[in-house]
Amino acid sequence: AQKITQTQPGMFVQEKEAVTLDCTYDTSDQSYGLFWYKQPSSGEMIFLIYQGSYDEQNATEGRYSLNFQKARKSANLVISASQLGDSAMYFCAMRGGYNTDKLIFGTGTRLQVFP
């Protein structure tokens, strides 16, 4: 069975510093995708970044990068130059297998950025 694990219920970071949010996954599929979403207090889920299992390069989107270590089954999110507006819940998710778009989510990490 597929599983996403986020072991950090909460993280603090000072403004302008970088922070890493951990995510490990478990799957027997060869082809899968990994996602990170941001959920501010308003509740909406904002797509941040995607990494395919066959992508050789780590995905990057602006200040977000995904540290993909396939052998360790980890897909950590790195946020550089944190901003106060980055304070939110962050969810790691996985889409597994062929012909499926279904996502399995982790329990999330609450990030708080302080001045």
Partner 1 sequence: SQTIHQWPATLVQPVGSPLSLECTVEGTSNPNLYWYRQAAGRGLQLLFYSVGIGQISSEVPQNLSASRPQDRQFILSSKKLLLSDSGFYLCAWSVGNEQFFGPGTRLTVL
Cα dihedral 57, 9, 37, 22, rounded to 10, equals 0
Q: How far apart are CA 114 and CA 47, in angstroms?
A: 23
Task: Select the span of 11-19, 23-31, 65-73, 96-104 touching partner 1 (CB under 8 A).
Answer: 96-104
DSSP SS3 for 85:
helix
Considering only residues 28-67, where is the footprint of partner 1 by CB under 8 A? 33, 35, 37, 42-47, 50, 52
Q: Is 108 in the site for partner 1 (CB under 8 A)?
A: yes
Tell me how far the alpha carbon of residue 33 is from its chain's centroid.
Answer: 11
Among 82, 95, 96, 113, binds partner 1 (CB under 8 A): 95
Contact positions vs partner 1 (CB under 8 A): 33, 35, 37, 42-47, 50, 52, 91, 93, 95, 101-108
